[in-house]
Each structure stands twice: as C-alpha cells, then as structure tokens.
Amino acid sequence: MQKRLLGKSGLEVSAIGLGCMGMSYGYGPASDKKEMISLIHAAIDRGVTFFDTAEVYGPYVNEELVGEALAPFKGKVVIATKFGIKMINGKQVLDSKPETIRQSVEGSLKRLKVEAIDLYYQHRVDPNVPIEEVAGVVQDLIKEGKVKHWGLSEAGVHTIRRAHAVQPLTAVQSEYSMMWRSPEEELLPTLEELGIGFVPFSPLGKGFLTGKIDKNTTFVSSDFRSIVPRFKSENLEVNQVLVELIKKVALEKNATPAQIALAWLLAQKPWIVPIPGTRKLERLDENLGALDVVLTPEELSDLNDALSKIEIAGDRYPAGSEYANRTGK
C-alpha cells in the first residue's frame, strides 16, 4: 500500500483511508457490528492504516466500533476522530467550549481504547468560541499527551490561518470530488502554502460517482441523501452527464468509475488522502484498486477540461438547513 504524508506534520498514513461513519450512522440503518469489524480488519490486511470516525456518529457507537476493531493494532494504525458537535434532543448542536472539548476527549479516548488520539479534528467551526481558544485547548491536550495531531473540518481559510498560528494543523477535512470542486479556489492553495494535509470526505460524491445511482434511485429517511438537493430525481438526471464522462474514461483505462474518481483526486496533490466509506468488501477492494490507476498529465488535462464544462445541479446541503449554515469562513 502506498503511503502519504499529511502536509509537513510527519504523520504518515495509507494513501487511501477508510471513512467509518456509514457503518453505523448517516446512510440508513446501522450494519451488523461483527461484519463491520471484519471489514475493518480486511482493510488492515490490505494495508489501510488510516481510519476516520467522530464522537457524534451514532452518537458514540461508531467510535466504539472503531475502538473495538482496532484494539489489536495499537501503534500500527492512525485513528482520526472529531469533537465539537453534541446531540441534544435528537438535534446536532455546535459546541467547542473548552470544558466540552475536555469532556469529549476523555470520552473518545475511552471508546477508542487508546491513550492518545492520533488526529483530533474540530468537526465544525463553532461561531461562539474563537478558534484561537479552541486551538489553545488542543495545544494543552497535546502537551498532556492526550492528542498527537489536530485538524479542522469544513473550515474556511481565515479560520485555518488563525488556528494554525496558535497550534500548527496537521490536516483539514472537507468535501472534495469531481462533483464538488470548490476547495480548488482557496482551500488547496492555502493548505499548500501552510504545509497542511487535506483529507477529502465524500470523494465519490456520496456514492453518485460510482455510476450506480440514477434518477430512479430512492433513499430511506435515515439516509442523509434523502434530504440533499443534489440527490433529487431531476438533479440526478441532469448530473448523469458527469457519470457518463467518468464511465468513458474508466472504459479507456480498464477501471471502474469509482477508481477513476479516486485516481483523479489522488493526482491533484501528493498530500491529499481521501477517505471513501463503505460497508462492503468488494467496494473496499474496488476503492483501493484506484491506487493502480495512473492518469497521465495529458489524461488529467483532458479530464479537467471536460469537467469544467459540466455544471452540477443541486446543492450539497439543503438551503437554510443547519448543515448548510455550518461551513466555516
């Protein structure tokens, strides 16, 4: 398995990580715990060393799953988790107050069965707590040996600069894929300048770029995609043009659409580590197979030209929702 360094931090991880959220949260009913532990072990057998979870996934149950699965592999894997979103009466509430962070870290350490968290992200920027204060608390946790590296998720470049000035960031996590390329405008240049790694979530467009979703696809109410404008039937139909482009390239490269989507991401920068999620062994193998797909500079250029002519229909979050209002500045 190829390895990559997240920015200048010295944190080395497998070139593709495994997003674990969907195993127990966000994409319909939770999967069988034993099966998911087997899947995580299969990922380790294949060289994956980077696993992503969060306190709020479940809440708590996803961290417990990851902690149990990875307990025999202490010191051989990198676990990323997140603080800053609490579940209150079934609703997600942003909370990065210092005392809350300290409570969160203790809970996560216990559930993950580790002495220190390898990579600790603020899950979303809390507008009520200055980022400098958050960075200061994490800096103390690093000094105390409870956290090794830290990062931000869905933060804007101004917040990233302010946080990095207090305690250098190892990674930033945000959505990035052929379907959502906004990070290319400001985020990627800023991360490159500061020497921070980038961990794209939803690198397969929440499944859309696999080519297995069309206008007739429906989602159960516990599947987040059921409320996402991008996944409304009319938008799925319009956006098929992107899938057709990826399928064409996949055919030429003897690969699958998912592998092309991931290979394209990996080719953008050497410090980018996508974390596709899956519950199926065959999808895991397919995703990791993207590392064998090499896009030449000419192929990348042609692909980018074609992508630039495609306009994606539908927002990635419902307008005015708590999700839409939580992306940082």
Taking the model in full, what pTM does it have? 0.96
DSSP 133-150: HHHHHHHHHHHTTSEEEE
- Which listed residue (57, 176, 317, 323) is catalytic? 57
Distance between CA atoms of residues 149 and 130, nearest Å: 20
The crossing angle, in degrees rounded to 10, of helices 33-45 and 281-288 is 30
Task: State the CB neighbour count (10 A cutoff) for residue 305.
Answer: 9
Q: Is 57 known to be catalytic?
A: yes
DSSP 27-84: BSSPPPHHHHHHHHHHHHHTT--EEE--TTTTTTHHHHHHHHHHGGGTTTSEEEEEES
What kind and span of H or E run contains 109? helix 98-112
Phi, psi at 322, each rounded to 5°? -60, -30
Distance between CA atoms of residues 298 and 312, nearest Å: 24
* All domains in the chain, ordered by first residue: 3-326 (3.20.20.100)
What kind and span of H or E run contains 119? strand 117-122
CB within 8 A of 144, min separation 6: which ones?
none
Distance between CA atoms of residues 101 and 188, nearest Å: 27
Beta bridge partners of 200: 174
Query: Per-residue confidence of the chain (329 residues) as pLDDT tens digits?
Result: 999 999 999 999 999 999 999 999 999 999 999 999 999 999 999 999 999 999 999 999 999 999 999 999 999 999 999 999 999 998 999 999 999 999 999 999 999 999 999 999 999 999 999 999 999 999 999 999 999 999 999 999 999 999 999 999 999 999 999 999 999 999 999 999 999 999 999 999 999 999 999 999 999 999 999 999 999 999 999 999 999 999 999 999 999 999 999 999 999 999 999 999 999 999 999 999 999 999 999 999 999 999 999 999 999 988 876 676 666 66
